[in-house]
Amino acid sequence: MPEAPPPDVIRLDGLAKTYVTGDTAVHALRETDLSIQRGEFTAIMGPSGSGKSTMLNLLGLLDRPTAGHYYLDGSDVSRMDDNDLSDIRCRKVGFVFQSFNLFPHFTVFDNVCVPMRYAEMDADEMRERADRLLEMVGLTNRADHRPTQLSGGQCQRVAIARSLANDPALILADEPTGNLDEKTGQEILQLFRDLHAMGRTLLMVTHNPEYEKVVERVVRLHDGSVASDVRTGVETWRGRAVPPGTVPAAAVGGA
């Protein structure tokens, strides 16, 4: 019998979030159906207040929906209790934030280890993996530094290494180049392209039109609804050889 195809990384079925304050209800995300396949590189765009952060917080299990279902890597995570949610969040989702969100008193190395400690990974495996991830983002020689001793671009590289720590099914990023100058932003975007080339599933909220030149898919939100969902036609490396100059998929565990 042929094997069943792997589930979509994300499947939203009527997912919605309404904030109620006093007698006012804000429909931050209206009933949304959306599927994201393994290996897709997607940008979520839209004007301020359109629901981008709400959607990202729901996808990252940082917030709970008020209606509908969210299947993450095949499991319905929309009704899980807090303990199960934190566990799944730690193992299945990697986060990259605009302001990096590193622990300032931890070394670079220890920052990358945080999700692995939480997942109670074996110590030798953790060290080996942190070394490989830091090598991948070009920061081996900064392992013992603290974030305050790094540039913004280097901090974001640490955050990207950390996001990969537990080999997540999904990497979510919220304006990951929003605090960086243009050149550094381009370098970080290139790093995301490399991850995409390795088969990673990436979804990022951005205002930056540069992303439309590199992502495969653009989902635009307007007033809490998906206003458009467009394939950009950007050439992808999926299913082909990794482009020259990128790190082998084995370095970060592949897709």
The CB-of-181 to ligand ADP minimum distance in angstroms stands at 23
Size of the site for ligand ADP (CB under 6 A): 12
- Amino acid in position 76: D
- With a CB cutoff of 8 Å and minimum separation 6, the contacts of 223 are 27, 30, 50, 51
Q: Closer CB to ligand ADP, residue 221 or residue 252?
A: 221
CB of 57 to ligand ADP, least distance (A): 8
Amino acid at 136: M
| Amino acid letter, residue 139 | L
Report, in Å, the least distance between residue 192 CB and ligand ADP. Answer: 20
Q: Which residue is nearest to Mg ion (CB)?
A: 53
Least separation, in Å, of the C-beta of 174 and ligand ADP? Answer: 8
| DSSP class per residue in 138-191 | T-GGGTTS-GGGS-HHHHHHHHHHHHTTT--SEEEEESTTTTS-HHHHHHHHHH
Q: Among 10, 45, 46, 60, which residue interacts with ligand ADP (rule: CB under 6 A)?
A: 46
Please choose which of Mg ion, ligand ADP, none residue 94 contacts, taking the beta carbon within 5 to 8 angstroms, the exact cut-off set by kind: none
- Closest to ligand ADP by CB, 59 or 93: 59
Are the C-beta atoms of residues 47 and 222 closer than 8 Å to each other?
yes
- We find the least distance from the C-beta atom of residue 17 to ligand ADP, in angstroms, to be 8
- Contact partner at residue 251 from ligand ADP, Mg ion, none, CB < 5 to 8 Å by partner kind: none
What are the tokens at 112? Answer: 């990358």
C-alpha distance from residue 170 to each of 103, 119, 122, 184 (Å): 22, 16, 22, 24
Helices then strands, counting H and E runs in the chain, come out as 6, 10
Contact residues toward Mg ion (CB under 5 A) are: 52-53
Is there binding between residue 54 and ligand ADP (CB under 6 A)? yes
Comparison of 138 and 178: residue with beta carbon closer to Mg ion: 178
Cα angle 161, 162, 163; round to 5? 90
Rank residues 26 and 234 by Cβ distance to ligand ADP and give the closer one. 26
| Site residues, ligand ADP (CB under 6 A) | 19, 21, 26, 28, 46, 48-54
